[in-house]
Chains A and B, each alone.
Chain A
Amino acid sequence: MRIVILKSLLSQALQTISKAIPTRTTKPILYGVYLEVFATHIQLTAYDQEIGIQTIVHPTDDPEPTLQIEQTGSIVLHAKYLLDIVRKLPHKLVRIDVTDLTATIRSGSATYTLNGMDPREYPHLPSVTEEMSLSMPSNVLISLIEQTAFATATSEIRPTLTGVLFSFVEPQLRFIASDSHRLSIHSIYAETKYSYDKLEAIIPGKSLNELLKILPDSEEFTDIYIADNQLLVTFGATKFYSRLIEGQYPDISRIIPTTWRTAIEVDPKQFTESIERAALLARENENQVIRLYLRRTHIEVTSNSPDIGKVTETIDPISFEGDDLQIACNAKFLLDALKALNNYQVRIEFTSPGSAFILKPTNSDRPLHLILPVRFGPNT
């Protein structure tokens, strides 16, 4: 196999697939990128068994050549080394020659040889029939993920909670995530090629976070396919595969309160800053607990750490409705939700010190973030 390729093109493709290269694995071939050269294009594949990414590079018609295919073939090369090498190469163009299982990489005056691995040993990507799909602009998918993935559980105690519930009931697509202390929901109206009654899957939060890193922030359409136990997302020349989590996602329909007793509107940036200051001390206590005193005149944010000290800060809400209320909660949960709602004016609705409160944009119910407060203990 022999190709000449624009360095930036190759490094971008490698960058994309590198999200599916494990940092540590017991199966060394998984450290590799499967590089295939066909007569018309080259294809790069990485598959760590959890997620798989495949991307294709075509020659373009630019006056300056971007990819020149001289001989077809394939090899598996250590992805991290290859990426490091390509990034640092001195010249704009890279030449890769493969004989047997050795790749020679030349650029300008630099020459590297890399020992390759046998492509026949590389695992196959899962097969997903590309029939049933949902289509949406890439940036819409990004917002679905950004609003929810952070709220997934990191502990394995309830495996389904480590994923985001993907739930499509025509015409609405909802993403739901919860670690059982908080819950985040976002939904959109999706366009489908076919009509489905109902489509549900639990996508690992980790996979979505990786996907987030390579999705283009544009109007370009992405297609989402859900098979038995696999997710496939395609965009541009790239395919992203992820394992799905098996199991039944808990029923959340009755968790979201429909009434409220106290409601405030805040500027997320200002509120975030106050909470961050309070959280400095809250970091020291176990649940990072801060307290909110909601009064008609002002809101007080406090936190105290027996070993370090106490902080009190007051802010003026944009609006206040209902009764005074005292509530305590985990500062990190609040910050995560506010960060997700960064671009909105935020409305927070409370019912009682002991029940969940919700954060959402002032004029809409989506996205919506729900947080369970911490009960007032003798020390809070």
Chain B
Amino acid sequence: MGRIHVLEDLVANQIAAGEVVERPAAAVKELIENAIDAGAKKIQVIAKDGGLTLLEVQDDGSGIAPEDVKLAFLRHATSKLRNLGDLSKLRSLGFRGEALPSIAAISKVTLRTRIADAEEGVQVRFEAGQLVEQTPVGCPKGTRVTVQDLFYNTPARLKFVRSLQTENAHIVDVVARAAMARPDLSFRVQIDEREALHTLGDGSAFSAFTAIQGRNLAKAALWLSLTSPDYALAGLIVAPEFARKSRSDMWFAVNGRPIRSVALGNAVLAGYSTLVPKGRFPVVAISLSMNPTLIDVNVHPSKTEVRFSEERDVCALLTEAVKQTLEKGVASPIVQSLQQDTASVMTHTKEGSIVAETSSASTGRSLLAAKPATSWSQQVVHEQVSDKKAMQVALDLFGVHSAKPKIIPHVDRQVADSVKEEEKFPLHRQLRAVAQVLKLVIVAEDGEDIYLIDQHAAHERVLYEAFLGKIRRRENYPLPLLVPLTIELHAAKIELLMQYEVQAADFGLRFEPFGEGVIRVTHVPSIWEGLDIAKLAHDAIYDLLEERKVTAFQNEIEDKVIMRACKAAIKANSTMSQMEMDALLEAMQKLDNPFTCPHGRPTAIRITRSQLEREFRRTL
């Protein structure tokens, strides 16, 4: 039975038309979306010469009924949407019926497809949008779309294509984002005869992430998961020290659709707070699930942007999820390998087995034994056991996951609880300072692992949290100035400023009019002690006047905390007595976040016992 029908005009027009295929990767994106929409489990992408000579996407999905095949190349022909109401309930990735005709218009397309019920398949061939051939053909169930000589009849566009490497990179990127959004599907990309990406499709976000971002990043990733009545968030966020210089590795997907969103990116950054320095962006891959009525995907022709009806709620939830995840789980970065090459051979063999085993949840125990028994890797293991379920539930809840209709929400709760129970804060064991080395690093142990602690960074963190705590507890008292500062101001401004007298005093800044056009600052916040008080007072007062908000002023005060912590922290190249090292470790143990300094650098490196045993070949 035919399922494709031409869209009503109204719908067709309301759906923004536009440039769908601006570069080869865009064609790949459209084709794999079609494959995903067709319920494929395995999707294979082949590209040659940056996709300009050949692009091929093969899937094992539903296939297209013979009578629909030609229709699929008609503009606004879609099986996915009948009217506008459908658009708001959209669960498929495609909805405009534009992709295939657009691609066919600028290339030579061969489509071969067979549905399960049909004995034989159909092959059609289009050139510059015209059907040139239609023949029955024997082929496996599913669809294969071959795009040759993309842009051959649009020279202007061809010129726009950048270097082949750039195009290749974009193709891999597009598939990788899709693969991350759908860890339950297996993707394979072959570029110029070389395998560029292969995800297993075992349902584990961790396994997809490992395949895409590599083992090092995966090891440093934490499992994020948070559900609210309207939204479910799940994904991986990587320890702050791996942060990048651009946003390009902050990946988001909404209901299985990879999207770009500055707002979500900022929400993540807010969650990392000072753990990553300004201008750095953490590596994250986060999937959001929500009722499709809460989003509008029809914002941009490439369908990579969405509009949330409650963007602020989503962002706040995301920030919270990131924060929570980091708080309970920021583990100390584990030293990768003391002896790079020999060790990496060993981990590689092991990695193979880990990746192979993750598809079955019951193998979680043996993984635990195979990997260092640290809280970090325990968490990863839990994630492997639980994320599949959590992810599935999240997707299923809103019917995104067409192939898996069964919902098991209560299981999810249990899994989530048990994970929480065992996710111990990584510094739960007492650290003992063994020695100071190079006047730079404290060597410590907890009976199990070795820690190398950067004395300055660690102390900085301790002071930072102490100062911040003071501000939050309003322990920031007014520090009297022996010589009051005078600041010249316009009379009108003084009047304005005096309106904030009470609020400013609340933060410890006190001032009073002092004759014509002058105010006198008598007290400053005590946390400014040791800093350039004159400049800070000046800046704070001007902020107050310009923004007319006490919050601006409050930020001005709090911003200085990092500076203050840095100044007061013990420097590298200074000797530390045993007493001071003990004091530092004890203070670290009480921190919310002992493992990164306020500038986002790591404070400690952990070398696990099992790593040492491996390095010394005590175990394999």
Contact = CB atoms under 8 A, between A and B. Distances in A.
Interface string B581-618: 10110010000000000000000000000000000000
Interface string B402-415: 00000000000000
B579 A24 contact: no
Contacts of A156: 438-439
A58 B459 CA distance: 39
A248 B599 CA distance: 41
Among B459, B569, B570, the one with the most A-chain Cβ atoms within 10 Å of its Cβ is B570
Nearest to B437: A156
Contacts of B459: 24, 26
Interface string A139-163: 0000000000000000010000000
Contact of A27 (B482, B574, B583): B583
- Interface class of chain A by DSSP: loop
Given A49-B579, A50-B577, A123-B579, A24 B570 contact: yes
Interface string B552-574: 00000000000000001111001
B576 A26 contact: yes
Contact of B583 (A26, A48, A88): A26
Given A24-B569, A26-B462, A26-B587, A50 B580 contact: no
Interface string B472-510: 000000000010000000000000000000000000000
Interface residues on B, range: 20 to 34
B579 A27 contact: yes
A279 interface: no
Contacts of A253: none
B438 A25 contact: no
A304 B455 CA distance: 41
A24 B462 contact: no
B347 interface: no
A88 B579 contact: no
Nearest to B455: A26
B580 A30 contact: yes
Nearest to B570: A24
Contacts of A26: 455, 459, 462, 570, 576, 580-581, 583-584, 587
A27 B438 CA distance: 20
Contacts of A123: 579
Contacts of A30: 579-580
B575 interface: yes
Interface string A27-68: 110100000000000000000111000000000000000000
A45 to B, nearest CB: 15
Nearest to A154: B573
B240 to A, nearest CB: 23
Given A24-B568, A25-B570, A88-B482, A49 B580 contact: yes
Interface centre among B482, B569, B571, B579 (most CB of A within 10 A): B579
A25 B571 CA distance: 9
Nearest to A123: B579
A348 B584 CA distance: 50
A335 B471 CA distance: 50
Contacts of A28: 583
A4 B137 CA distance: 108
A83 to B, nearest CB: 13
Contacts of B577: 48-50
A123 B577 CA distance: 12
A50 B570 contact: no
A247 to B, nearest CB: 15
Interface string A93-131: 000000000000000000000000000000100000000
A50 B575 contact: yes
Nearest to B576: A26
B61 to A, nearest CB: 61
Contacts of B462: 26
Contacts of B455: 26
Contacts of B571: 24
Of B459, B575, B584, B587, most A-chain CB atoms within 10 Å: B575
A156 to B, nearest CB: 6
B568 to A, nearest CB: 6
Contacts of B587: 26
A156 B574 CA distance: 10
15 contacts: A24-B568, A24-B570, A24-B574, A26-B459, A26-B580, A26-B583, A26-B587, A27-B583, A28-B583, A30-B580, A49-B577, A49-B579, A50-B577, A123-B579, A156-B438
Given A24-B459, A28-B583, A30-B579, 16 more contacts: A24-B571, A24-B574, A25-B570, A26-B455, A26-B459, A26-B576, A26-B580, A26-B581, A27-B580, A27-B584, A30-B580, A50-B575, A50-B577, A88-B482, A156-B438, A156-B439
Interface of B: 438-439, 455, 459, 462, 482, 568-571, 574-577, 579-581, 583-584, 587
Q: Which 4 A-B pairs have the closest CB atoms?
A: A49-B577, A26-B584, A27-B583, A24-B570
